[in-house]
Structure 1
Amino acid sequence: MEVKLLHKAFESAGDAISITDHKTDKIIYVNNAFINLFGYTDEELNTGDVTKPVYADPLVGREIFQKTKRGESWSGEVEMVTKNDKHIWVSVRADAIKNQAGEIVSLLGIHTDITRRILKEKTMRESEELLRTLVNSMGDVIYTLDCKQRYVGIFGHWINYKGIKPEYCIGKTNKEIFKSKDVSIHNTANQLALNGKNVVYEWKIKDQKGIQFYHNSLSPILDSKGNVTGIVGVGRNITELKWTQNKFAAEKEQLAVTLRSIGDGVITTDTEGKVFLINQVAEEIIGWNQEDVKGKHLAEIFCIIDEKTKQVCQDPLDKLIKNQKDKGFSNFNTLVTRGGTRKIIADNGAPIKDKKNNIIGYVIVFRDITEQKKNEAQFALSQKLKSIGQLAAGIAHEINTPMQYISDNTRFLQDAFNNIYTFWNYCNQAKKTVTEGNMSPELIVEIDNKEKELDIDYIMSEIPKAVEQSLEGIDRVSKLVLAMKEFAYPGIKEKSPADLNKAVENTITISRNEWKYAADMEINLEQNIPLVKCVIDEINQVFLNIIVNAAQAIKEAIEKNYLNRGKITVKTKSEGSFVYISISDNGIGIPKNIIDKIYDPFFTTKDVGKGSGQGLLIAYDIISNKHNGSIEVNSKVGKGTTFTICLPIENDNSKGGYEK
């Protein structure tokens, strides 16, 4: 009766049960749960080694079998294999069954399927390891505290302070861990989190590497009823970030000091042209301050005049960026300040780009050159007066020569008139005598003698010559005076169409005394050459400087016996949208080692007092900077030099060089 009840209990049990005979090692019983779990019947298991079919590792099965045969109990979790080769995890309990005499008669095995739990635990371990790896890779530390501010768990990068390990901190408070250190900032933050608030704070600690900065974020842990059961915290070492921020702040301050210190005005804007920053110099020039301009569009504070329309430019940023030059201040504009004052500024604009070359804003750099322009105007005028002064003696000589023979011819005409008048009176008296009927043959002889006495025949033949010579002299003086007027008169500083052929002829005329004794002048001017938009008196200055230099180079060559008499050749021609003027001489030439210096300020090869070193510098400035042209030089020592000037027929910049 008891055996039947026991068998019925085994059959209804949820665990897989097996009984093995101690003497024969044959399985004598398996219940239905065993068959369902492993798929084997007792007959199938008795075909060989009882440990082989079901244990994934037969050695483990053999160990369990042998231990129970010795009368010992065994329990544990092992991996087993079902009939269809499915691997499962089983909790095994093995015991020896003894009779009343204490002899082992059979072996009992109870097997509980724990595969789901094992797989779940494995998944949890893998997730935990993944989370741990993720936390460690983040460089942060994640920790939990209980309601007494004791550490419950620590994951990730723990602080490196005096070798304290995370496991040492479990169950301890900050005060117990850091001991002498002031931990009040942590206690206060933790208490706020325990009161249900999210807390963010920063703190620092000194270790062997120096001062380390940390950023902590705390959140309360709530149970299902909303009660605070602890704290979860995330700590991050922000030392590098702090140093970077401090470095950035220092650089920002240095930049601000630099911007305040430099002598140029600086304005920065965003991509829409709204002002972000202006420095002190910019404030002084435009009359606005940083507080007033921030957020305003550049056009509201940076008012420049459009030289074509004479109106305030509506989009100065677009104008400056389009006229952007590679470097330096190549743009000149008239600025209207906040107070209405007009100033001349040199400016340039450029986009601000990030590392990916994306435009993130714009910068405008400018300087007030009003006084500089006034000084340049005075300098230009003084240079012109100096040039005229240097030519004055020659011009006086050029005027004196025709004036001399005009004077001589005038005196001759005066004397001739007196003689003719005397002869005319004598003839009138003779006429009266004839009229009165007193004519005699002696009267005719007297008239002839008087004519010879007064040299009437000579006078009549020389008067036309004297008049012609005088007219030629007057014309020559007139042309010279007109040339001087057109050369020296400042005129209007706005660029306007001008005849360069006429400018060349005028310059040659007034400089004639500089070259006529040493050189012949050959002129080859293109007929009907296009008018060039320029400031003509500045161009005259350039022509004069180069022609005088050519004459001086020829004189030096004559002194060194390179030639007996030189030649200066001036040519003009048009090509496309440009006009070219070349001035050549066969003088001494320019050595290769100094040809690159001829446009340098104050550079001269002349003796002290004979040259300022400013002539070619001014020529270069006028042609290249003020007229968007070019000036090139080719020279060979002992053979001569050629300067070639190229000017655009149309010039976008309406302003010339110096303004009065």
Structure 2
Amino acid sequence: MTTVTATHIGQQSGKAASRGLSGPACLNEMLLSLVSLRDADNAEQIADKMRTVAWLLPPALGEGCYAARIVWLGTAYDPPGLPAFPPHIIHPFDVASRETGSIELWRTPAAPLPPRAYALLEDCGQIISSCLQQIVTVAATRERAEQYRSIFDYVTEALVLYDLEGIILDINAAALRLLGADHERLRGRWFGDLLPPDDAAELAAHINRIRLRGMTFAESHLRRMDGRPVPVEMTDRLLLLQGRQVVLSNARDISERHSAREALERRMEREHLVGDIATLLAGSTPEATQAALTAVTERLGNFLGVRHVWFIEMPPGETTVSLRHEWRAAGATSRKGTLDATPLNMLPWSLWRLTDFETVAIEDAGSLGKGHEHERDRHREMGLVSTLAVPLRRRAELAGCLAMDDIGNRKWSAEDIALAETVGGMLGAALDRTATLLQHQRAHAHIAAILDTLPAQVAVVDGTGRITHVNASWLHAAADMSLPEPMRCLPGADYLSALDAKTPDIPSAGDAATLLREILAGRREGGSLEYEVMADGRRHFMLQLAPLMPPLTGAVLMRSDVTALRRAEADLARSEVRYRMLLDTMQEGLLFTDAAGRMTYINGPFCAMVEHDADALAGREALDLVAPESRQAFQNLLFPEEAPPSLQEITWLTSKGGRAFSLVSPSILRDSHGHFIGLTAMITNITQRRILESQLAQTQKLEAVGSLATGIAHEINSPVQYLGSNLTFLQHAFDEIMKAYTTCDTALRTARDGSSDVPSIDAALDAMQHLDTAYLRDEAPRALRECLEGVEHIAAIVRSVRQFAHPGNGTVVPVNINFNIESTVNVARSSWRRVASLRLDLAPGLPPVPCVPSEFNQTVLNLLINAVHAIEDRKAEDPAHEGSIVITSRLKAGWAEVSVSDNGAGIKPEHAAHVFDPFFTTKPMERGTGQGLAIAHACIVGRLGGQLFFRSEPGLGSTFFIRLPFTSPSQEA
């Protein structure tokens, strides 16, 4: 800190005294300096007067102040002898509402300033601020005047500004040169002095015409100071200058352009046309846009003398254009059929030129060269020769084009192109303005309609909590006299005051008022509050509040009567308890999943079926509990491409490693948009039924084997009989041979010993003669062959029976179905050989087919027995009928197909729909139970994913088809 010594204070006080001015005199002189500050013309004068004021300020304030300076815009105006240490008092002042300066004072610490000095300091600051404000304003005004004068004189055309009395107010340098005069000679003169006598006499009427029209255009003459007339083209415009109406006359020297009179007139017509078009488009409403387009295109077409004018719209995102409007000259044909709905790339002009906002002017399309082949070809196809297209811009995007064409070759002049571009620009701006206005109107109407259709009661409050707008629901509620006062406030009412009244019927009114105040103060972004209304019974309301978007201040209130909702929630909770009790006590299993297949609810019977606790299953994927052979079917339920089957058999894995069988009846859950959101499945436990069905199938198989037992025994008995006969024959022949052998052996031994025992030799000869060797030589080998054939026949029957009746393990394995068909036919030979002939037509080289061998054999046997029965039924009516059965196997369209055909009685039409139904049969009790085809259908279709169907004609026969895929369901899974 700088120390102020007594010596320094004395020096400064001496300087003040040396000025020879007392305090009042210094004050008067300072005030005079402040007043004269307004008259400062330059920076040096301002600095001099500011230093004078700073020099006179300390003695005017009193003996406590000994030095001062003024700082403005960073410049310090220091009087002589200013201390080197910082000031003690800094008093700021502002100029043009900005703090740009300050008064800095040095005072004696022991002698503080009196209160009047502070008041004087404040007044001094205000005077300095006012003076500097005036200096700034005058400088700005002078600068603008100089700029105006510079621009006014820079214009190369003659400009004369005069009032409505015709007195010249200003004239630019070009006009002075044109008239051969100086500025002082013409300012203040009557403008009529510069006109020919006839025009001067009509000046007052001419000024009235300018006032009515706003602008006039005419050719006239101006008289130079030397008396020589100068032909000019005068454009007079009515202007408002500093609150008064004046006329600005633009005089253009046309002495060298008389030959261009037509062009000038044309230009004026063009300007009038542009003005008219601007007028038409400026005031057009969305409803009047089409009428404005009609007028614009008609005037433009007539002015340019073209054949057609089109307004082609190119909506964003569309690939075709729309012919919004077409004008055509008399006798011209419409182009609507060739331009409307035309693809963008098939317009007569290259699309890239339009998207680059390039005006396309084509004088002769036929002469277009390389790079313009598209335009040349499209013009020829559409019968166009000369065209002009101006792209229309709407918010920096291509919105369409204004186009026209003419007969024959036309050289589009720069004026034509400029006019088309001007009109196109105005048209694009007008369409953009119209679209924006229409969008705002629709948005406003849309918002108002939405608010009025909302069931919630909506109100808007301003920053003070006063209601400014309400919707229809709020007005309806306000008419309910049973509601408390705060709920019946209308626009203009103070909603906050109504809440502060602490209405006893709304215990939470104070909380609502606090929340609204915090939102209005910007301390919260929004909130909600539920409160009860005690009047007219207990009712519940939900109040939601949110601030308005800046720069608006206030808040939006949305009040909803949730009484019914709260009651419904209570009823729903009670219903939920009853519903869960019902689900847990029902006999069927119930399973709910979400879209990902996770279990969201399972009831007790389902948990008991899979031997799991409900808590352990919640949230798990249901697919984890499905057996491998059923997973594909279950996935089809979870993620169906179409509607799932009404009933599906699914096998589940139990917690103990077993399997539980079920019938699943699915129901797909979808949201309001039709999207899959989950699955509800009613699950019937058929594990016991499957066990019974397995036992029934085995029983039916045993029944079939039992019914074939007699035939099989007969088939075996035939070869056994001739085996016994042949063996008896061979035994007898063997005995005779052995007897002859023994006799001959004795005779040979006797002969070897040298004895000539004649009886032995005779006995041997008799034995050989008695033995019929020729017979034995023929019959014995035949008997042996028959025995071997019989044994092979019996072995084949045994193999067939074993193949047919082999229980297996019930799994799907690759099977040579041709071999199984032959085995089944052999087993059932006794059933069909006396009824019909049977022919096998089996495709050689058929690949192995995945199936359960025993079930396939049983299916073929059932179809074969049914064929035999059908032939027997027909023989009962026609004993002479010769039965025929044909069994074929084929590889057909990716399936292994087996067919069993007969020429029996056929199936009646009324029975056809029930053929595969369980327990349905038309046979007597001793011939069938109605289970054979039902079980076959379950095996072939349900288990293997195959097909089982038939074709039949009553009285002619039937053919049953078995189709099996080469991929088993387990392999697909």
AA matched with 1:648: P
RCO higher in structure (CA 8 A, sep ≥6): 1
Distance 2:809 2:483 in 1: 86
> Are 2:621 and 1:298 equivalent residues in the alignment?
yes
CA apart distance, 1:584? 0.9
Distance in 2 (CA, whole Å) between partners of 1:132 and 1:156 is 14
Q: What is the CA-CA distance between 1:522 and the residue it aligns to?
A: 0.9
Cα distance, 1:543 vs structure 2? 0.5
Determine if contact 1:271/1:361 at 8 Å carries over to the other structure. yes
1:157 to 451, 455, 476: 476
Which residue matches 1:277?
601
Out of 895, 898, 902, the position equivalent to 1:585 is 902
Instruction: Tell whether the 8 Å contact from 1:335 to 1:344 is kept in structure 2 after alignment.
Output: no
SS of 2:530's partner is strand
Range with greater deviation from structure 2 (432-441 or 640-649): 432-441
Equivalent position SS for 1:157: helix
Tell me the distance in 2 between the aligned counterparts of 1:630 and 1:317: 20
Q: Which residue in the other structure is 1:604 paired with? A: 921
Select the residue among 652, 672, 688 that pairs with 1:371: 688
Partner residue, 1:200: 530
Distance 1:132 1:427 in 2: 136
Look at both structures and tell me which one has the larger radius of gyration over its CA atoms. 2
1:426 maps onto 2:743 in alignment = yes
| 2:955 alignment counterpart | 638
Task: Name the CA distance, whole Å, in 2 between partners of 1:421 and 1:394.
Answer: 40
Q: How many residues align?
A: 495
Aligned to 1:465: 782
Q: How high is the TM-score relative to the length of structure 2?
A: 0.45
| Structure 1 counterpart of 2:670, one-letter code | K
Mark the CA change 1:139 to 1:413 in structure 2 (over 3 Å): closer, same or farther.
closer
Instruction: Tell me if the contact between 2:646 and 2:666 (Cα under 8 Å) persists in the aligned partners.
Output: no
Comparing 610-619 and 348-357, the one that deviates more: 348-357
Q: CA deviation at 1:512?
A: 0.2
Please show how residues 137-536 of structure 1 align to structure 2 within 5 Å.
Answer: 138-139=454-455, 156-158=475-477, 186=505, 188-190=507-509, 200-203=530-533, 213-215=539-541, 217=543, 236-238=560-562, 241=565, 256=580, 259-260=583-584, 262-294=586-618, 296-298=619-621, 302-306=624-628, 321=638, 326-330=644-648, 332-337=650-655, 341-344=658-661, 352-363=669-680, 366-439=683-756, 445-453=762-770, 455-536=772-853
SS for the counterpart of 2:925 is: coil
Q: Following the alignment from structure 1 to structure 2, what is the Cα–Cα distance between the partners of residues 168 and 408?
A: 118
In 1, the alpha carbon distance for the partners of 2:450 and 2:893 equals 71
Distance 1:487 1:216, change over 3 A: closer
**Native 8 Å contact 2:508 2:532 kept in 1:** no
Between the aligned partners of 2:765 and 2:776, the Cα distance in structure 1 is: 15
Instruction: Report if the CA contact (8 A) 1:273-1:317 is conserved.
Output: no
* Displacement of 1:480: 0.5
Give yes or no for contact 1:419–1:456 (8 Å, CA) kept in 2.
no
Give 5+ residue unaligned stretches, structure 1.
1-82, 85-129, 145-152, 172-182, 220-231
Rounded to whole Å, the distance in 2 between the matches of 1:519 and 1:134 is 83
Summarize deviations over 1:192-245 as a string: whole Å, max 9, x none. 667889852245877xxxx995425499xxxxxxxxxxxx99754446646765
Distance 1:233 1:187, change over 3 A: farther
Deviation at 1:463, TM superposition (A): 1.6
1:541 positional shift: 0.3
Q: Does the CA-based 8 Å contact 2:628-2:970 persist in structure 1?
A: no
Q: Structure 1 CA distance, aligned partners of 2:488 and 2:667?
A: 58
Corresponding position of 2:273:
none
Contact 1:519–1:568 (CA under 8 A) maintained in structure 2: yes
1:254-308 residue CA offsets vs partner (Å, 9 max, x unmatched): 76456435544333333444432222223223444444544x3326x94345469
Moved more, 480-489 or 400-409: 400-409
Alpha-carbon offset, residue 614 of structure 1:
0.7
Q: Is the 8 A contact 2:918 2:931 kept in 1?
A: yes
- Residue 970 of structure 2 aligns to a residue whose secondary structure is coil
- Residues 326 and 254 from structure 1, CA distance in 2 versus in 1: closer, same or farther, beyond 3 angstroms? farther
Q: Secondary structure of 2:899's match?
A: strand
Equivalent residue of 2:891, what SS?
Answer: strand
- Is contact 1:519–1:567 with CA below 8 Å preserved after alignment? yes
CA distance in 2, matches of 1:306, 1:644: 29
Q: Distance in 2 between matches of 1:257 and 1:401?
A: 71
- Give the conservation status (yes or no) of the 8 Å contact 2:627–2:659: no
Q: Which residue of 2 aligns with 1:27?
A: none
Query: Structure 1 stretch 253-262 or stretch 538-547: which is displaced more?
Result: 253-262
In structure 2, distance between residues paired with 1:648 and 1:531: 11
Task: Measure the CA separation in 2 of the matches of 1:585 and 1:262.
Answer: 50
Separation in structure 1 between the aligned mates of residue 486 and residue 749 of structure 2, nearest angstrom: 157
Q: CA deviation at 1:384?
A: 0.8
Deviation at 1:567?
A: 1.2
* Aligned CA distance change for structure 1 residues 411 and 571 (closer, same or farther; 3 Å): same
TM-aligned CA distance change 1:415 to 1:317, over 3 Å: closer
SS at match of 2:738: helix
Structure 2 segments unaligned to the other structure (5+ residues): 1-243, 246-445, 461-468, 491-501, 517-527, 546-555
SS of equivalent residue, structure 1 residue 417: helix
- Provide, for residues 535-582 of structure 1, a one-character-per-residue CA deviation record: whole Å limited to 9, x for no partner: 111100000001111111112222211634311111111124211111
In structure 2, how many angstroms separate the alpha carbons of the residues matched to 1:134 and 1:520?
84
Q: CA deviation at 1:336?
A: 3.9
Partner residue in 2 for 1:77: none
- Of 425-434 and 321-330, deviating more is 321-330
Q: TM-score, normalised by structure 1?
A: 0.64
Cα–Cα, structure 1 residues 614 and 362, in superposed 2: closer, same or farther, change >3 Å?
Answer: closer
Moved more, 618-627 or 368-377: 368-377
Cα deviation for residue 360 of structure 1 reads 2.6
Q: Structure 1 pair 595/167, CA: closer, same or farther in 2 (3 Å)? A: closer
Q: Contact 1:140–1:156 at 8 Å: present in 2 too?
A: no
1:519 Cα shift? 1.0
Q: For structure 1, which segment, 569-578 or 556-565, has the greater mean C-alpha deviation from structure 2 after superposition?
A: 556-565
Shift in alpha-carbon separation, 1:205–1:523, aligned structure 2, 3 A: farther
SS state at 2:913 partner: helix
Q: Residue 654 and residue 534 in structure 1: after superposition, are their counterparts in 2 closer, same or farther (change >3 A)?
A: farther
8 Å CA contact 1:302–1:316 kept in 2: the answer is: no
Q: For the residues of structure 1 that align with 2:904 and 2:540, how far apart are their CA atoms?
A: 80
Q: CA deviation at 1:527?
A: 1.1
Q: What CA distance in whole angstroms lies between the structure 2 residues aligned with 1:550 and 1:439?
A: 77
What is the distance in 1 between the residues matched to 2:504 and 2:610? 50
> Which amino acid is the alignment partner of residue 276 of structure 1?
T
Higher helix share: 2
Query: Using the alignment, how far apart are the partners of 1:199 and 1:449 within structure 2?
Result: 136
C-alpha separation between the residues in 1 aligned to 2:570 and 2:486?
A: 35
Change (3 A) 1:375 1:212: same
CA shift in 2, pair 1:414/1:136, >3 Å:
closer
